Amino acid sequence: RPKSISFIGLGRMGSEMAFNLFSKTFAESKDAQFTVCDAVPEAAHAFRRNFQEHFPGASLHVSNTPEEAAIKSQTIITMLPSSPQVRSVYSEDRGIISALRHLSREDANATLCIDSTTLHVAVARAVSEEVHKLGALMVDAPVSGGVTGAKAGTLSFLVGGTHDEFTRASPTLALMGQRIIHCGHSGSGLAAKICNNLVLGVEQIVVAEAMLLGQKLGLNPAVLAGVINNSTGGCWSSSVNNPVPSALPDKSPPCERDYEGGFATALMLKDMGLATDSANAAGTPLPLGQMAQNIYEKVIREKPDLARKDFSSVYQYLETQLPG
Ligand code: NAD
C-alpha cells in the first residue's frame, strides 16, 4: 500500500510542518498520498496550491471533514489551537473517531493518530482512550521550537504513549523535527510541554522588564542583551526571542517585524491557563505562573491587537505602563 498521510490544521505551525513532512515523504515515495483539512477551507487550498507548485507530481487532496481525511490515511496528524478543537475534530460527528468506526479492525490497528496540539492533559487522555478502544494507535506529540523550528524542520517533539506507539510515530516525527523525546505514557508529552511553557511564559515577561529597566538606566539594548546572553540570566527569551528591536545581531526575532509571526500572545495565555488549571487540579502552588497569566490577560484586554502578535510583544505593553 502506498504511504498515506493526512494533516488537519494548517495554521502557522501546521502548514510548515506539513510542508516538510510531505516534501520529505514524497522524495522517498513518489506514490505517497497526502490529504489536508482545515476549518478554514482556504487555508487547505492555499497549502495545496503552494505544495503542488513545488512538487507538481504529488498526490494531494483537500478534505472537507476530519472524518474524510482520516478515512484516507494510515497516519493522521492534528495541529489545532487547543482542547475544544481537538475534542471536536476527534469526537464530533464527521470526526476522526467516526472514521475509525468505519474501518476494519485490521485497518484500524494500522492507523496512527499523532496530535501535536498543546491542550489539556485530561482531554488528550480521554480522546486517546476512545482511539485505543477502536484499535488504533495514538500519541500526544506537542512541540517546542516555534514557527522557525517548524519551517526549518528542527522542532522538538515531546511524546506521550506506549513504547510501541513511540517507535511507530518516531520516523514520521523525524521528518519534521530533530529531537524526539519519549516522556512517558499517554498525556506525558503534554505534561512536559505545559511545564516548559510555564517557564517560557514567565521568562519572556522578566526579560522584557529587564530590557526596559536597562534602557531607563542608560544601557544600549544590544550591550545589555550581549551581557545577559553571556551571563547567568541568559535564556531563549533573551538570546533568540529578545523583545527589543536591534538588541540581537540577527534580524530574526518577531520584534524586528512588529511582532508578526512567532507564538501568539493568545496562545501563550492559553498555555498559562493550562498550567494553572493543571496546578489547581494537582494541588501544587504556582504564584509566578498565576501572575504571568494575569499579565498576558491584561495585555490582550488592554491591547487587543497584541493577541495575535508574538508574546514577546508583552514588552510593548510594559513600555506603555511606565510613568513618563
Ligand atoms: P494557528 O491558530 O495558527 O493554527 C490552527 C489551525 O487550526 C488554523 O488554521 C485553524 O483554522 C485550524 N482549525 C481550528 N479549528 C479547526 C477544526 N475544528 N478543524 C480543522 N481545523 C481547525 O495555531 P498555531 O500557531 O499553528 O498553533 C497550533 C498549536 O501548536 C497550538 O496548540 C499551539 O499552542 C501550539 N504551538 C504553537 C507554537 C507557535 O510558535 N505558533 C509553538 C509551539 C506550539
- In the predicted model, what is the mean pLDDT of the chain? 96
| pLDDT tops 70 at residue 322 | no
Catalytically active residues are 193
* Residue 296: closest CA among 318, 323, 277: 318
Contacts of 58 (CB under 8 A, 6+ apart): 22, 26, 32, 34, 51, 52
CA of 78 to the centre of ligand 1 (A): 9
- Between strands 143-144 and 155-160, the pairing is antiparallel
* Beta-bridge mates of residue 184: 160
pLDDT in tens, 214-265: 999 999 999 999 999 999 999 999 999 999 999 999 988 999 999 998 899 9
Taking the C-alpha atoms of residue 264 and residue 7, their distance in angstroms, rounded to an integer, is 21
* Residue 18: closest CA among 179, 151, 155, 112: 151
Indicate the range of 6-10, 51-55, 154-158, 320-324 predicted with least confidence. Answer: 320-324
Q: Per-residue pLDDT averaged across 272-298, rounded? A: 97
Q: Flag whether the pTM goes above 0.90.
A: yes
Q: Per-residue pLDDT averaged across 84-113, rounded? A: 96
Whose cell is 505593553? That residue is 317
Q: Per-residue pLDDT averaged across 298-315, rounded? A: 97
Instruction: Classify residue 32 by burial, with Cβ atoms within 10 Å: 0-12, 13-18, 19+.
Output: middle
pLDDT in tens, 56-67: 999 999 999 999
- Other C-beta atoms closer than 10 Å to the C-beta of 295 total 19
CA of 43 to the centre of ligand 1 (A): 12
Q: Per-residue pLDDT averaged across 121-146, rounded? A: 96
For ligand 1, is residue 40 a contact (CB within 6 Å)? yes
Work out the pLDDT band at 2, boundaries 50, 70, 90.
confident
Grid coordinates standing for 54?
A: 513545488
Grid coordinates standing for 175?
A: 521528518
Length of the chain measured in residues: 324
| pLDDT tops 80 at residue 1 | no
What per-residue confidence (pLDDT) applies to 324? 45
For ligand 1, is residue 89 a contact (CB within 6 Å)? yes
What per-residue confidence (pLDDT) applies to 262? 86
For ligand 1, is residue 85 a contact (CB within 6 Å)? yes
- 20 in Cβ contact with 153 (< 8 Å): yes
Domains of the chain are 4-186 (3.40.50.720), 192-321 (1.10.1040.10)
What per-residue confidence (pLDDT) applies to 323? 63
Instruction: Classify residue 173 by burial, with Cβ atoms within 10 Å: 0-12, 13-18, 19+.
Output: buried
Work out the pLDDT band at 116, boundaries 50, 70, 90.
very high
| pLDDT tops 60 at residue 273 | yes
Taking the C-alpha atoms of residue 299 and residue 306, their distance in angstroms, rounded to an integer, is 7
Say how many CA atoms lie within 13 Å of 255 toward its Cβ: 23
Work out the pLDDT band at 125, boundaries 50, 70, 90.
very high
Q: List the residue whose alpha carbon is closest to atom 19 of ligand 1.
A: 39
